[in-house]
Amino acid sequence: MTSSTTNRRVLPSSPFQPVAPEPVEQFSVNDLLTHDRHGVGRVIGLGTHNKVHVDFGAGIQTITLPNAKVTRL
């Protein structure tokens, strides 16, 4: 027997309410961002599946979002 949390009823008074995922931050070409490891970079392209291509000066990196190390400037 398998159980699925998607079919379970949640009572309004329950302290265990389902948590909605945080929305993925959207970037545009030429947006500036900072990365904890790579430093400041500029978005040069948008990929599929929440990926952005960023030029950090020393090289181009592809970053998958959401990423806790990325902050928009």
Confidence class for position 34, pLDDT limits 50, 70, 90? very high
Question: Which residues are within 8 A (CB) of 59 and not within 5 positions of it... i.e. 6 or more apart?
Answer: none
Phi, psi of 67 (to 5 degrees): -140, 120
* 22-72 CATH pick, 2.30.30, 3.30.43, 2.60.40, 1.10.3470: 2.30.30
Q: Report the alpha-carbon distance of residue 51 to residue 69 in Å, rounded.
A: 14
Return contacts of 39-46, CB within 8 angstroms, 24+ apart: 40/73
For the cut 90, the answer to whether the pLDDT of residue 28 exceeds it is yes
Q: Report the alpha-carbon distance of residue 14 to residue 37 in Å, rounded.
A: 41
Q: Please give the pLDDT value at position 5.
A: 53
CB of 52 closer than 8 Å to CB of 63: yes
Q: What is the pTM of this model?
A: 0.69
